[in-house]
Structure 1
Amino acid sequence: MSALLDDVRRVVTGLGTEEPGPSAVRARVLAHLEAHGDAALGRAVPEHVTASALVLDPSLTRALLCFHRKGRFWVQPGGHLDPGDADVLAAALRELREETGVADAEVPVRRAADLDRHALGDGFGRCAWHLDVGFVVLADPAAAVAVSDESTDVAWWPLDALPDEVPPGLGERLARAARFARAAPSAAS
């Protein structure tokens, strides 16, 4: 059993139960980890763990999204875990750097804010489902961004005016992230 698998279990188990999204998915993710072990962390099985940065501006009113080349939708930066990732949060921050160029970001609470299970379309090859662990990350919207090979654009969007081309549930995930960040001073990190 790897240290990364142990971290994923710890992070998923530590998610708060006050929000319906993460708590509804938690048992399924933990059962999947139990059944597949380290294989659940990579592309060896069609359903696997991913890590995301739910990037908000300091006012918690805008989100940084990437227009995904394969999916043809706006989505938060994130993706597959790599064997060299120290933990799930490190994977989310690596994905943020790789997909947006943002390297200077603040993590207000080092605890996951979101857990989401979503299906992928036919264009994603062997990947059928992602079990996505999301962390709130704050970044300066004035900082330069870069578009990766996985995307065609990177842009800031108001939370109350997201583009039409977002996956189902992303608006609620981002709203949940903003609520989580607002509670950060009183949250246990």
Structure 2
Amino acid sequence: MSVRESAISLLSDWQAPDPAQDALRHAVLAFVLARPDACRRECVPGHVTASALVVDHTGERVLLTLHPRVGRWVQLGGHCDDDDGDVIAAALREATEESGVDGLRIEPRLAAIHVHPVTCSLGVPTRHLDLQFVAHAPAGARIAISDESEDLRWWPADALPDGADHALAYLVGRRAPLAAEIDASAEKCE
């Protein structure tokens, strides 16, 4: 399955947690269906990106990067690459590259969607259609700052850094409900 096909599948099947997220789901899905290049960074009107909120083994802390281009603390993520098998693989690759953490376990369902304007590495204004996931770090995980970050730090989930935007706060708030949904699904299968 391609990155685009996986994005279409995820967006088609996702039960959004609220009307605002469902509206974003519809808009992003329509864009991806209309644009064969929607998952490539060269798609100037906008393109799908993949990110992951990395949560520590207790579920109480989140790993954030101080992003040099946007100048604030955000979850880990970035552009999809041609060799990513799907959007989930892209989010896991980005989180692993940007955190240095081995053994991340990513939840295979969307946590949230966020669309934001940005000037990308190509130097032109565009939009990121960010498909957001939650990943879990193993106990004792060691972090390493990548060259894509000014800083990397664990933050208490209930005490995000000053200047954290509403989208990050929303994603952090989705980590516990998402875990409960996954646990409930697992119990139904037993």
Q: Which residue of 2 aligns with 1:185?
A: 183
- Selected match of 1:168 from 166, 169, 181: 166
Match of 2:30, as an amino acid? A
Cα distance change of structure 1 residues 141 and 127 upon mapping to structure 2, 3 Å threshold: farther
Deviation at 1:24, TM superposition (A): 2.1
Pairing of 1:1-189 with structure 2 (within 5 A): 3-37=2-36, 39-46=37-44, 47-107=46-106, 109-120=107-118, 125-140=123-138, 142-187=140-185
Q: Is the CA contact (8 Å cut-off) linking 1:68 and 1:74 kept in structure 2?
A: yes
Q: Secondary structure at the match of 1:85?
A: coil
What TM-score results when the alignment is normalised by the length of structure 2?
A: 0.88
Q: Is the CA contact (8 Å cut-off) linking 1:56 and 1:178 kept in structure 2?
A: no
Cα distance change of structure 1 residues 65 and 126 upon mapping to structure 2, 3 Å threshold: same
The CA deviation string for residues 80-132 of structure 1, in whole angstroms up to 9 with x for no partner, is 0000001111101100111111121123x422221111222588722521111
Q: Secondary structure at the match of 1:129?
A: strand
Supply the distance in 2 between the matched residues of 1:127 and 1:149 (Cα, whole angstroms): 23
Q: Is the CA contact (8 Å cut-off) linking 1:70 and 1:123 kept in structure 2?
A: no
Aligned-residue sequence identity (percent) comes to 39
Supply the distance in 1 between the matched residues of 2:126 and 2:139 (Cα, whole angstroms): 33
Q: Is the CA contact (8 Å cut-off) linking 1:72 and 1:165 kept in structure 2?
A: no
Q: Is the CA contact (8 Å cut-off) linking 2:114 and 2:167 kept in structure 1?
A: no
Q: Is the CA contact (8 Å cut-off) linking 2:49 and 2:128 kept in structure 1?
A: yes
Deviation at 1:163, TM superposition (A): 0.4
Q: Is the CA contact (8 Å cut-off) linking 1:77 and 1:95 kept in structure 2?
A: yes
Supply the distance in 2 between the matched residues of 1:127 and 1:49 (Cα, whole angstroms): 15
The CA deviation string for residues 139-164 of structure 1, in whole angstroms up to 9 with x for no partner, is 13631111111101111111111001
Deviation at 1:187, TM superposition (A): 2.9
Question: Unmatched 5+ residue regions in structure 1?
Answer: none
Question: Unmatched 5+ residue regions in structure 2?
Answer: none
Q: Secondary structure at the match of 1:156?
A: strand
Deviation at 1:21, TM superposition (A): 4.4
Matched residue count: 186
